[in-house]
Amino acid sequence: MSDTGSGPASRGGLNFNTVFGVLGIVFGIVLFIITPEQVERPRLLFGRKPSGLDPDFFPRMVAVYFVITGGWLVWRARVLVEENRIRSLNGEAITNVLVTIACFLVLAAVMPWLGFVLSSIILLAVLSTFYGNRHVIAGAAVSIGVPLVFYNMLRVLLQVVLPQNPFFPNILWF
């Protein structure tokens, strides 16, 4: 049973907040369980990990946060009285969400072949153009600069293993 969108959610009953809270809990549990099989282990250097962080740490931390926030939303949904405005979204809003999801799925598919930086540059350029960026120089600067900054922070400072660019594999910053 869910809300009709025309009236407020009922107190104490099953409403859209409860559904999203339960989905968050389920997603967090599934993410926590599958993390060890999905995270690539870095090579050992002289029998030790190259950094002090366990590769499972961040995904498992995110999974725990999903469970905590999902539980909090289920708890709060008992007393929340809100209108479900998801059903009243227009076609443009739904198209924007679907295009963004599709772009991120394509990003996940092409990242092993193009590397982190090139695939992120393409994603940012496509999405900023789709959402109406008309200033080409500013769009190009953001599309190129942000992935380079993040790559350097993640790869160099935090020693995170990211997909390399196959076209220029010897350039550390790219």
Domain end call among 88, 123, 148? 88
Query: 8 - beta bridge partners?
Result: 83
**pLDDT for the residue 41:** 66
Instruction: Let me know whether 57 and 117 are in one domain.
Output: no
Instruction: Let me know whether 121 and 171 are in one domain.
Output: yes
Instruction: Let me know whether 62 and 99 are in one domain.
Output: no
Mean pLDDT by 10 residues, the chain (174 residues): 48 77 96 83 59 76 96 90 78 92 95 89 94 91 92 81 74 58
For residue 167 the two structure tokens come to 């076209």
Stated pTM of the model: 0.61
Domain end call among 70, 88, 106? 88
Element counts in the chain: helices (H) and strands (E): 4, 0
Q: What's the Rg (C-alpha) of the chain? A: 21
Q: How many residues make up the chain in this entry?
A: 174
For residue 163 the two structure tokens come to 């997909």
Domain membership of residue 52 as a residue range: 1-88
Domain end call among 69, 88, 107? 88
Q: What DSSP state is assigned to residue 93?
A: H
DSSP sequence for 98-164: HHHHHHHHHHHHHHHHHHHHHHHHHHHHHHHHHTT---HHHHHHHHHHHHHHHHIIIIIIS----PP
**pLDDT for the residue 31:** 93
